[in-house]
Amino acid sequence: MAHVAEWKKEEVKDIKSLIDSHGVVGVVDLLNIPAKQMQQMRKSLIDKAKIKMSKKNLIDLAFKESDSKMNITELAPYMEGQPAIIFTDLNPFKLFKILDNSKTPAPAKVGAIATADIVVPAGDTGFEPGPFLGELQQIGIPAKIDKKKIVVSKDTVVVKVGEVVSKNVANALIRMNINPMEVGINLRAVYEDETIYTSDLLNIDGDKIIRDIKSAFQSALNLSINGSIPTKDTISPIINNAFNKAMSLAINATIVNDKTSETLISLANSRMLSLAYQLTNVENALDEELLNKVSRIPVTSTTTVSEEESNNNDDEEEEEESTEEDVTAGLGVLFG
């Protein structure tokens, strides 16, 4: 049996202890993160999470020997680049958001793979005419001289997503102070309660989720109200709808009670004034009191009332006979 160095045993023991003492265990990739930025990220995670760097085989061994977390060995395939383990009791989605928000812009390095299209925006580069103009044109950027400055004519994609950044492109981007890359801790996968969450599952828009939940609740509420399904949230709107429909039916059928009398009187008064307005040119048709009331009615509103009455009269005459029995039957149910 091969001898195992004591420090390796202690390292595995330390990782296992961290696994046992935290509810959430994740695999992160620290590749290409400068030491200075790494220190800043560690400080931002104080009291929130702990990052442990170690050899892949020792981390894998700690996973296999862990008794407190079933299925945690399923994290092993996600150890890529320069892997490390992160330990926390935060919700996995919250942890992902914290790490994602901590990422900072960085220059494009030669040989790096673009994670998104790298675009050089249109506008003044700030450079005076010189060799740099040819360098830009050589990498496909439509540049020209305008007012003694090198200007990019239009937004130009110099590296498409998934492509490798060339030396010429990297140098040009650095000179223009364009930092298209992001430097940060990449969370590959997280273990919680025997479940593995990969980065694509953790990358959600929290605001959109809240909007979708609110929209779903409103749709369910509307369906419940329209379907007259009583719940603690819908009972009041359902009763209000029923009351409004009963009021509308009673008013249209001229049923007088303590709820409809004021509205019916107001409608009758409006119709009376509308009719009186049409008789203002007929000699001795109106007494002095009516003439005074009609004279105070705005012409536009009176005309509108008259037109509505005229349009409604024909409909009322046609429907009066056919609806009389139905209205009486409906009122019998509503008012006993």
Predicted local distance difference test score (pLDDT) of residue 321:
44
Residue spans of the chain under pLDDT 70? 1-3, 297-336
Q: Give backbone dihedrals phi and psi of 172, rounded to 5 degrees, phi first.
A: -65, -40
Q: Report CA Rg, the chain.
A: 39
CA distances from 69 to 52, 127, 195 (A): 18, 58, 10
Do β-strands 156-159 and 186-192 pair in parallel, antiparallel, or remain unpaired? unpaired
pLDDT tens figures, 276-333 = 888 877 777 777 777 777 777 665 444 444 444 444 444 444 444 444 444 344 333 3
Eight-class DSSP state of 29: E
**Domain coordinates in residue numbering, the chain:** 6-103+184-204, 118-179, 210-335
Whether the Cβ atoms of residue 204 and residue 147 lie closer than 8 Å to each other: no
Eight-class DSSP state of 256: -
DSSP-assigned beta bridge partners for residue 52: 85
Whether the Cβ atoms of residue 124 and residue 149 lie closer than 8 Å to each other: yes
Predicted local distance difference test score (pLDDT) of residue 102:
85
Predicted local distance difference test score (pLDDT) of residue 43:
85
> What CATH number does the domain located at 6-103+184-204 have?
3.30.70.1730
Predicted local distance difference test score (pLDDT) of residue 2:
56
Predicted local distance difference test score (pLDDT) of residue 323:
41
Residue 84: name the closest of 22, 139, 31, 11 by CA. 31
Q: Which two tokens stand for residue 143?
A: 């540049």
Predicted local distance difference test score (pLDDT) of residue 178:
92
6-103+184-204 and 118-179: identical CATH topology: no
CATH architecture of residue range(s) 118-179: Alpha-Beta Complex (3.90)
pTM recorded for the entire structure: 0.58
Tell me the DSSP string of 48-94: TEEEEE--HHHHHHHHHH-SSSTTGGGGGGG--SSEEEEEESS-HHH
pLDDT tens figures, 196-205 = 999 999 988 8
Residue 202: name the closest of 114, 100, 104 by CA. 100
What is the rounded CA–CA span in Å between residue 303 and residue 298?
9
Eight-class DSSP state of 297: S
Tell me the DSSP string of 257-284: STTTHHHHHHHHHHHHHHHHHHTTTSTT
Tell me the DSSP string of 162-196: TPBPPHHHHHHHHHTT---EEES-EEEEEEETTEE
